[in-house]
Amino acid sequence: MKKEKKSKNKKVGKIVRTVFSGIFTVLLIVIMVLANTMLPTNARMINNMLGYNQSVDNSKVDTEGLNLNYNESDYTEDEIGEAEQELNMNIAGEGIVLLKNDEHAMPYAKDTKFSFFSANSDDFATGGFSLLGGSSGVSSLKEGFESRGFGVNEELWEFYSKGNGKDYGLGPGSISYGDDEDFSINEAPLSVLESEKGLLDSVEGTVPVFVLKRVAGEGRDMPRSMYNHTDNPEDQTKSYLEPDSVELEILKYLNDNFDDVALLINSNAALELDWVKQFPNIHSIVYAPALGNYGINALADIYAGNINPSGRTVDTFAADALSSPAAQNFGDYQYYTEDGKATKYNYVSYAEGIYVGYKYYETRYEDVVLGQGNAGDYDYSSEVVYPFGYGLSYTTFEWSNYTTSWDGTTCTVTVDVTNTGDIAGKDVVQIYAQSPYTDYDKENKVEKPSVQLVGYGKTAELEPGETDKVTITFDQEQLKSYDYVNAKTYVLDAGTYYITAAFNAHQAINNVLAAKGKTTSDGMTEDGNKELVATYVPDNEDVDTITYSKDTYTGVEITNQFDEAHGDVTYLSRSDWEGTFPTHDGKVSDQISTWGNEINGTDDNGNPVSYLYYKTVSDDLLAKLDSTDSLSPVDAITFKDKIVFGKDNGLTLIDLRGLDYEDPLWDELLDQLTPEDYQIMIAQAGYGTEALESIDKPFAIDADTASGLIYGGTGMMFQNSMVLAQTWNRDLAIEFGEMIGNEAVLGGANGWYAPSMNIHRTPFSGRNGEYYSEDAFLSGNVGSAATYGAAEKGVYTFIKHFALNDQENHRGDREGQYGIATWSNEQAIREIYLKPFEMSLKVGNVKLNYVEKNAQGVYENKSREIPAGQAVMTAFNRIGYTWTGGSYPLITGVLRNEWGFNGFIITDNANTGEFMDAYQMIEAGADGKLTSIPEGARYTFDESNVAEYHYGREAMHHMLYTIANSNVMNGAMPGSDFKQGMQKAQMFQIAINVICGGLILLMVFFTYRRFRKKGKNEVGE
């Protein structure tokens, strides 16, 4: 019996081991299948992240006496970390804005102890993260403030970080690329705080700081209605930019029980802050968007007085963000067919025209004071809490000796700034201009803001009593306006222009009104300073339609390109504010919006609810939306190109470095390309471009994110773009670009998917933290500086997203979305939405180093200048019905022809963009699809099609010209060879196959041994 039982147990054991072996073998097979599927698909991203294996072989060339390090880092790998930290601290220190400081509550003494309230205090957004060993920086408010000698209420901090408050806090919102729709606020209620024995008692003797935070990110906008994100009816009627009832309850408790309460705002949006006046004991408000890896230290330094705040707002802080004209058409708008069916297309109408941000608030204010334009019942003081350009300091400044002088078309403004306080600090001088609003303008729909920013400057750090003469220049060209109705080009009005220096946009218009003889008795919020105003009268006695009808950079004629984008929209005019103020461009449907429109109806139970808006689209317009028409006027049948592939001309890409774009040698190089080269470069240019054997082109890494380089750099993440703009310090923006360039030289990146140049059309945009401002000039000034700095180190910057991509909802990056149709008039398109891109591409030239044979046939180092702006990324959205990445008027009409751009144009992420047609793209004048996986290409280059070859050849020329003149050529010269080693993804794939395959063989072997019959000489059971 024992023997039978033993035999039975062994059989069971065999079966168990065999089942286990089978399961383990299946698991190994699954791992192999995934590895052989996922690794090749994502090879480019993996190799970029872990470092691309590529080298230069100079064994066949004589490099003696030559410097082939065309772009050199200013730092070693050991030195750069300290420099990055210092720059991050400097930018954050000058970019944090002090909005309120009643009773001089700030700065605080070093022995102050702070009690940080809100679940968000333990999750303060820095915007920084590290990869590949980069420094992680400062991890929390507690760490940063304690490093500056402050005390932090440990009991309260532990409650939020580890105790019963740890599970509260904001929903993820759109920080996961819009995949999560949870914008809940979910603050720990006061009752929970009160239920913790002794918790609120621990706050006694400290300064309570309430951290008000909102999150947003790519792919989703902030909700205008909280209906879908809370069950509290009181809060459902609010927007995401307002505090909810729980937050207000805590704020009231703090206001009622403490003499000094601090409000710290961590948000990429200009939140609604009119409610603060209900709480007089909130003495200070600090506005600090994402600060980067080390920015919290700068924040603590401001509270300590180690840094005197000098940041200024880059947006208008409205009392009700939904009251702006731009907000009337922002959100969830869908086209329906004529028979009432929802289409796959959404739309947005920029009915506000040029009146975005302060250009609305300040202009309507002036018209109320002057009693013109049917301005209606508009009360500026109840509309605006903090104006554009606003910010406080711990010291005071006095301005004097304001002068303007003109040398031809260049205006030079000077003003003496004196520190009249007792603390050292920096001040910002902002220059605004007012153009006359004439009868011609009214007749031809040329709109004019009451003031517009034309220049700014920042003082040095001024000691008490010290004076700095600030000098700012701007050109008459900045006073032009676009007339899309009559002249169909830029015009310069005749009449009197006002030029003023001001602390912010509201003071600017008050100064101009003072110069016109107006005072508070006329309805002004405060008296202006006419001593800070000068007038200018240009030479033209009538409207000038000639001077700026040609691009001053290229000399190319400028005329309307975007008549198709005007749409059936009534645009806001200051000649009739009340009569033309935008309304929702559509009707309210019976479909509840999940995208966060404001409350616009009630459900069957009478509860407030937000519905989707819709508009009926004709069959003709629907056909245009369905089409891949680039709107090119060129008939491709006229092309007579001789198709040439694979010619042996003996050239490599390094041979072309330093040559003009028009140099005939480019044709010889392009003749060497193969059809496979066209395919991989055009259809799969995402996050880098492949090495091409035919011309010995090296692999080029293109890195992402506006705050740093997530690969191909050092892993450092800086502050977001808003903070950089809030410094109002162009020198810091150049330094930031240079630091990105230094990181790229050390880490291997060649292109940078940044800066981001779209506009804060409203505070609700999910990506406003990545963009600079509501103002086109400020955005362009900062973005162009960063572009220039990076270009000095050989980095081509893909300024993005070209253009009018100012809304994340329905932008077109998800399955079933096809690019939101954006409708606007040409004046707004050119003066607001294209202006930052234009400024960045015309920022100036940088030095390009290369080697060239001299007359004696000996190579020597040479240099020349090339434009700093070398790359552009288009957008998901459409201008009118045409996708931006395939719009001939946008890309060839404006970018290539008017602005003379010969660089690299790539799409936005096309892995998911099903509507992004590659032929439409190259026909429009663009070059490559941002796809990193073969499945995303959705394109096969037709090597026998003459038109496709013609456009493809132009695209290859653009891309190769940009890459040849970048830092990817460091170390190479004519005759060098680029060697491609085995890449990390391939190594992993081979390793997984070998290991898993070996283990599978072992499982098979042991299973065979387990069940095979024993020989007579072998031991039996």
| pLDDT at residue 32 tops 90 | no
Contact 435, 477 (CB under 8 A): no
CA-CA distance, 273 to 212, in Å (whole number)? Answer: 11
Put residue 456 in one of left, alpha, beta given phi > 0 → left and psi -120 to 50 → alpha.
beta
Ranges assigned E (strand) in 300-372: 317-318, 333-336, 342-349
Q: Could you tell me what percent of the chain has a pLDDT over 90?
A: 81
- Which stretches of 229-356 are DSSP H helices? 233-236, 245-257, 295-304
Cis peptide before 582 (omega within 30 of 0): no
The per-residue pLDDT for 1 is 52
DSSP 394: S
DSSP 188: P
Lowest mean pLDDT among 137-141, 232-236, 767-771: 137-141
- Name the residue with higher pLDDT: 758 or 589: 758
* 943 alpha carbon, distance to own chain's centre: 37
| pLDDT at residue 1020 tops 50 | no
DSSP 120-146: GGGG--------TT-------HHHHHH
| pLDDT at residue 327 tops 70 | yes
Lowest mean pLDDT among 588-597, 673-682, 742-751, 1006-1015: 1006-1015
Residue that the structure tokens 């791992």 belong to: 31
| pLDDT at residue 208 tops 50 | yes
* 146 alpha carbon, distance to own chain's centre: 32
- Per-residue model confidence as pLDDT tens digits over 91-149: 999 999 999 999 999 999 999 999 999 999 988 866 543 333 334 578 899 999 999 99
| pLDDT at residue 45 tops 80 | no
- Per-residue model confidence as pLDDT tens digits over 424-483: 999 999 999 999 999 999 999 999 999 999 999 999 999 999 999 999 999 999 999 999
DSSP 264: E
Q: Given pLDDT bands bounded at 50, 70 and 90, which one contains residue 784? A: very high
Q: Look up residue 527 and give its two tokens.
A: 């008296």
CA-CA distance, 27 to 40, in Å (whole number)? Answer: 20
A 10 A CB-CB count for 57 gives 13
CA-CA distance, 1017 to 1021, in Å (whole number)? Answer: 13
- Name the residue with higher pLDDT: 136 or 778: 778
The per-residue pLDDT for 52 is 85
pLDDT mean over 850-874: 96
DSSP 512-574: HHHHTT--GGGT-SS---GGGEEEE--S-SS-BSSTTSB-TTT--B-----GGGS-S-PPP-T
The per-residue pLDDT for 38 is 78
SS3 category, 916: coil
The per-residue pLDDT for 1013 is 59
Q: Given pLDDT bands bounded at 50, 70 and 90, which one contains residue 1015? A: low
Q: In what order do the strands lie in the sheet with 333-336?
A: 587-592, 611-616, 333-336, 342-349, 821-823, 878-879, 882-883
| pLDDT at residue 17 tops 80 | no
CA-CA distance, 106 to 34, in Å (whole number)? Answer: 57
Half-sphere exposure of 885 (CA within 13 A, CB side): 33
Torsion of CA 1001, 1007, 1010, 1011, to 10 degrees: -120
| pLDDT at residue 510 tops 60 | yes
CA distances from 58 to 471, 692, 699, 973, 974 (A): 50, 18, 17, 8, 9
Lowest mean pLDDT among 20-34, 151-165, 441-455, 667-681: 20-34
Q: In what order do the strands lie in the sheet with 428-434?
A: 452-458, 428-434, 497-502, 533-536
The per-residue pLDDT for 218 is 87
A 10 A CB-CB count for 285 gives 23
Residue type for position 158: E
The per-residue pLDDT for 593 is 87
- Per-residue model confidence as pLDDT tens digits over 655-667: 999 999 999 999 9
